[in-house]
Structure 1
Amino acid sequence: MTAGRYDYFGDELYFLSSGRRLDFTYADQGVVVPLSAHLSDLVAHGSLIALRFPAAMMGVGAMVVAALIAYELRGGRRAQLLAAGTYGTSELVATQVQLSTFAFDATLTAVITWLFVRWVRTRQDRLIIVAGLVAALDMQVKWMIPLVWACLGLAVILCGPREILRRPALWVATGILALSVVPILYWQSQHNWPQLAMGTIIGAEQDATGYGPIGFVPQWLGLAGVVGGPLIAIGFWAVLKRESLRPYRFIPVALVLMTLFVIVTHGRPYYPTGFFPAMFALGAVGFARYPRRRWMNLAVYPLVGATVLLFTAMLTLLPMPQHWRTQSHSAIDLGFQSAAFGTTNWSKMVEAVDTGYNTLTPEEKSHSAVVAQGYWQAGAVEQLGDRYHLPPVYSPSRGFGFFGPPPNNATTIVYVGLDTAEPDLRTHFTDVQRVTQLDDPVGTPGIDRMVAVWKCKGPKQPWSTMWDSMTTLYFDLGLWRDSRATTRPTH
């Protein structure tokens, strides 16, 4: 596994910071992932493997669920192994190596789909209740599950089995999910509904990567993998042509509905992939039952060979040596670089913050704080800054901004951010001095490229007042300023 070879991803550092400030929900996700990060850090502080172990187990769980769905579809051992193996060698399981909301959400969505598939075969209503409980748990991970539930419901209305709509258990399960949303809605209402604003910002970020709606399908198929793409196509064919699989037509229809929603809203391509284990199972069962000719069987070998080769390369070559890294010129370049090399050199950025802190006099240090422009930077300073004895860190960026501002007696700030931040800093402080800069040409923007540290004195307003004008949900990586979404306060 590559789990221990990649350095921290930015969101992982944020989840560690969130876990130190446990709440029943946060600005853009629920409590499950921050809680997982916090528990892992308590057990083995600083261990990347411990941090990512729960996410990796979720990836393994999705493989098992794919096999279980194939079993419910009356697929034999070969079909079950094909469904599980396809997920295990896809880009999806590679994505689940890092701690993320996706790692949990994708598997829990697959579990919900499996429970509905099993209900179709057994008509045991308790399965629907369990699906509602799993959905309520998933709601504490990421807030896509109401959309998943709605797509499944609309798919059932369109193509059956409509009998489930008459079962009281379905409405009980829906009520359980609705109740789990109530505290989240309350928190959002008390904080100016940040999640509503995030939709526009995520869409702008997705467009800035250069993919947008047109490039959604290639990304989508890339996540499915070399074998997964054909299996999904076979799954669509199978539910139309195989009488025994027609009761499960709601699965591909739900996938199509959710995919269309994500394309229209410019969402992330991985949002609909929680349905992939079920689609792999449908494809595997359909493939196993099709009366194939010899040339069709022979055609499978190149696909399997390519999959094994890519999977082996992923395990042995990633992350690539850092001296192979080239300069990122766009957001899409940065995405490829992050996948191939990881996000590295956090320690250099934290050392630069310490350099800035050491320029403070003892009096200034007694009334100081660290403020990071981005929530990734704030998480890195908090996680890796223990040995430097830095003051508390704050950030106006996304969810970190809701953790609150520095105290009003913090009159000297060590600020770390993009090297373009100085004009904005001068609107908030009477004295702004650049202390040091990081600008490795092949570095990662926001970590060791286009980064500077300032010593800022004399806040022009109390922090409790100034924070509202500084907080933003927009996260500037320095490479998509032309596609910048409208910023708005988060409080």
Structure 2
Amino acid sequence: MRSDSPAPEPAASLTPIAWRPVLAITAALAVVLVAVSGQYGYFVDELYFLVAGDHFSWGYADQPWLAPALAHLMDTVAPGSVAVLRVPALIATAAGTVLTAALARELGGGRRAQTLAAAVHAGSFGTLFAGHLLATSTLDAPLWTGTVLLLVRWIRYDRASLTGWRRDRLLLGAAVLTAISLQIKYLVPILWVAIVLALLVFGPRKPLTRPLLWGGLALAAASAVPSLVWQAANGWPQFAMTSVITAENGGNGGRAMFLPLALFWAGALSGAALAVYGVVAALRRAEYRPYRFLGIAPVLVLLAFTVTAGRPYYAAEVFAPLWAISAVAVTAAAPAKWWRWTFSKPVLVLSAVFAIVAALPVLPKDTVSPTDQFLTKPGTTGWPELADGVAVISSRLAPDTAIITGFYPQAAALERYRNGRFTQPVYSGSRGYWFLGTPSPDTRSVLFVGPVPESLRAAFTTSEPIGGYDNPHGIPVVNGPLQFTLLSGRNRPMDQIWDGLRQLRPA
């Protein structure tokens, strides 16, 4: 069996990139994602991005501007097309697969290592789940991988005694990717803090002495100023968003479950095993000494997400370096180990098939219950029916009625699917939707979608239930009919009522 020698000496040339198998894997991934891209409907965040993009701003309560802008652009190109909306996600996911293979090559991996790294990336649950949705984590992940790739290449160039612009421009390139990432999410500083700490402890420290690194990162930070100005002007709702996510994840219970769920996102078997072995290989194998920071930086990032009770899908952004470094190690000539079966072709295929069934909308739409809380199914069905229900009720509503929903995707879905059937404005105090519109002071009554908060009920003299909508979809972990309630006889100023519905309050 031909071996792939990991971590070559600096002067040695790298193995040519294995374009044929890597592109074949990437193409297969793209075919799968395209095949399911039009299934079901918009995901909850996609609905929000569409409405937020219609209210363009350099900042939003829960993320910067780029994802809503992309959603608006794609919907302008092909109005109402879920498949076209997800084209940027497809491109980002395919790029992530190629970059993971390129990182394995940069670490000394040959054809087998590059192929394994690409296969594990393409077949992981996190890649497939995020890859078929326009989500911030989908767009951000390849930027993190590319940043690490450029840093690893800088170290290789430095070990080869290559100095000057050809070497240091790689650090500037990493800063450019960081700047782009800062327009998608605010998480990439966590990656850089983890990298700096890992380099300080494990080395090499030389990248930290390069002016282009710090100058580039300063420019990257400057690129986030417009979004930060918006945050400051609106009371830093991003900090409140962190508290909301922590509460939704169950507080300490969410922290305890973060790592197991993150490993599930990495891949129930092969992906998780490679991620864990990547840490071991980076820290224990002598040939990886120059890249030892790759084993500890992802762990520090995962620890930060655990402490803050972040979403498990955040972890999708840190696994690529671990997959790459372990792919090189496990394909190198070595005595057979009992655990090597987890990286065998049958197991890789089985893991990919499981991920496809679990993460993608492959079942017929009419077989999926909107109340099903399993994986991707809630959040992508039932939205047109919700708008149908409001359209039926709208004939009973006075012109000065506002529609307010308890959960932000419900409001976004009503905007997306109203199709001129009702004219009443739609609002929600949920998360960042509160900032997208304010009810008129002349609003006299409210049609509330979802469980009515007691503070809102107390602001009106009359509360009248109006039928029900047998799809609680959009109310997390709640089963039963979704109630419509008409509130009339307002006894407080509308601005006070609206402020009371704000979920993300000033820090």
* 2:209 maps to amino acid: R
Match of 1:63 in 2: 97
Match of 1:469 in 2: 500
Change (3 A) 1:326 1:377: closer
In 2: Cα distance, 1:145 partner to 1:200 partner: 19
SS of aligned partner of 1:408? coil
Match of 1:89 in 2: 123
SS of aligned partner of 1:223? helix
Does the CA contact (< 8 Å) of 2:89 and 2:139 recur in 1?
A: yes
Match of 2:7 in 1: none
Provide Cα deviations, 1:246-269, integer angstroms capped at 9, x if missing partner. Answer: 211111211111111121222222
1:369 partnered with 2:402: yes
Does the CA contact (< 8 Å) of 2:370 and 2:378 recur in 1?
A: no
Higher mean alpha-carbon deviation, 72-81 vs 315-324, is at 315-324
In 2: Cα distance, 1:463 partner to 1:80 partner: 60
Using the TM superposition, give the Cα deviation of residue 38 of structure 1 relative to its aligned residue in structure 2, in angstroms.
0.5
Change (3 A) 1:444 1:186: closer
Provide Cα deviations, 1:218-264, integer angstroms capped at 9, x if missing partner. Answer: 21221111211222233223223443322111112111111111212
Does the CA contact (< 8 Å) of 1:320 and 1:341 recur in 2?
A: no
In 2: Cα distance, 1:326 partner to 1:344 partner: 6
Match of 2:72 in 1: 38
Using the TM superposition, give the Cα deviation of residue 429 of structure 1 relative to its aligned residue in structure 2, in angstroms.
2.4
Match of 1:408 in 2: 441
* 1:174 maps to amino acid: L
Using the TM superposition, give the Cα deviation of residue 216 of structure 1 relative to its aligned residue in structure 2, in angstroms.
2.2
Using the TM superposition, give the Cα deviation of residue 63 of structure 1 relative to its aligned residue in structure 2, in angstroms.
0.3
Higher mean alpha-carbon deviation, 19-28 vs 297-306, is at 297-306
In 1: Cα distance, 2:212 partner to 2:318 partner: 22
Alpha-carbon RMSD across the aligned residues, in angstroms, is 2.6
Match of 1:459 in 2: 490
Using the TM superposition, give the Cα deviation of residue 136 of structure 1 relative to its aligned residue in structure 2, in angstroms.
1.3
Change (3 A) 1:388 1:203: same
Using the TM superposition, give the Cα deviation of residue 309 of structure 1 relative to its aligned residue in structure 2, in angstroms.
3.6
Provide Cα deviations, 1:106-139, integer angstroms capped at 9, x if missing partner. Answer: 1211111111111111241111111112111111
Give the unaligned 5+ runs of structure 1: 329-333, 474-488
Provide Cα deviations, 1:19-43, integer angstroms capped at 9, x if missing partner. Answer: 0000001001011110111011111
SS of aligned partner of 2:184? coil
Using the TM superposition, give the Cα deviation of residue 295 of structure 1 relative to its aligned residue in structure 2, in angstroms.
7.1
Give the unaligned 5+ runs of structure 2: 1-32, 159-166
Does the CA contact (< 8 Å) of 2:282 and 2:288 recur in 1?
A: yes
* 1:345 maps to amino acid: G
Match of 1:304 in 2: 348
1:140 partnered with 2:183: yes
Change (3 A) 1:241 1:434: closer
Does the CA contact (< 8 Å) of 2:50 and 2:72 recur in 1?
A: yes
For 1:357, which of 380, 389, 394 is the aligned residue? 394
Match of 1:331 in 2: none
Match of 2:22 in 1: none
In 1: Cα distance, 2:438 partner to 2:229 partner: 22
Using the TM superposition, give the Cα deviation of residue 380 of structure 1 relative to its aligned residue in structure 2, in angstroms.
0.4
Match of 2:137 in 1: 102
1:347 partnered with 2:390: no
SS of aligned partner of 2:317? helix
Provide Cα deviations, 1:407-436, integer angstroms capped at 9, x if missing partner. Answer: 222323332222xx1644332223332222
Does the CA contact (< 8 Å) of 2:409 and 2:474 recur in 1?
A: no
* 1:106 maps to amino acid: A
SS of aligned partner of 1:344? coil
* 1:223 maps to amino acid: W
Does the CA contact (< 8 Å) of 1:160 and 1:249 recur in 2?
A: yes
For 2:469, which of 432, 438, 442 is the aligned residue? 438
Using the TM superposition, give the Cα deviation of residue 270 of structure 1 relative to its aligned residue in structure 2, in angstroms.
2.5
Higher mean alpha-carbon deviation, 397-406 vs 181-190, is at 181-190
* 1:28 maps to amino acid: D
* 1:113 maps to amino acid: V
Does the CA contact (< 8 Å) of 1:318 and 1:340 recur in 2?
A: no
Does the CA contact (< 8 Å) of 1:349 and 1:448 recur in 2?
A: no
Match of 2:450 in 1: 417
Using the TM superposition, give the Cα deviation of residue 298 of structure 1 relative to its aligned residue in structure 2, in angstroms.
6.0
For 2:147, which of 112, 123, 141 is the aligned residue? 112
Does the CA contact (< 8 Å) of 1:228 and 1:280 recur in 2?
A: yes
Match of 2:258 in 1: 216
Alignment of 1:187-266 (within 5 A): 187-207=230-250, 212-225=254-267, 226-266=269-309
Match of 1:477 in 2: none
SS of aligned partner of 2:380? coil
In 1: Cα distance, 2:180 partner to 2:202 partner: 28
SS of aligned partner of 1:279? helix
In 2: Cα distance, 1:253 partner to 1:293 partner: 26
Give identity over the alignment, percent.
Answer: 34
In 2: Cα distance, 1:126 partner to 1:134 partner: 12
For 2:431, which of 398, 415, 420 is the aligned residue? 398
Does the CA contact (< 8 Å) of 1:95 and 1:103 recur in 2?
A: no
Q: TM-score, normalised by structure 1?
A: 0.87
In 2: Cα distance, 1:202 partner to 1:319 partner: 29
Does the CA contact (< 8 Å) of 1:232 and 1:279 recur in 2?
A: yes
Change (3 A) 1:350 1:327: closer
Change (3 A) 1:342 1:319: farther
Change (3 A) 1:119 1:140: same
Does the CA contact (< 8 Å) of 1:319 and 1:341 recur in 2?
A: no
SS of aligned partner of 2:439? coil
* 1:218 maps to amino acid: P
Does the CA contact (< 8 Å) of 1:318 and 1:341 recur in 2?
A: no
Provide Cα deviations, 1:357-382, integer angstroms capped at 9, x if missing partner. Answer: 1113xxx32x3332222211110000
* 2:152 maps to amino acid: V
Q: TM-score, normalised by structure 2?
A: 0.84
Does the CA contact (< 8 Å) of 2:39 and 2:361 recur in 1?
A: no
* 2:239 maps to amino acid: L
Match of 1:480 in 2: none
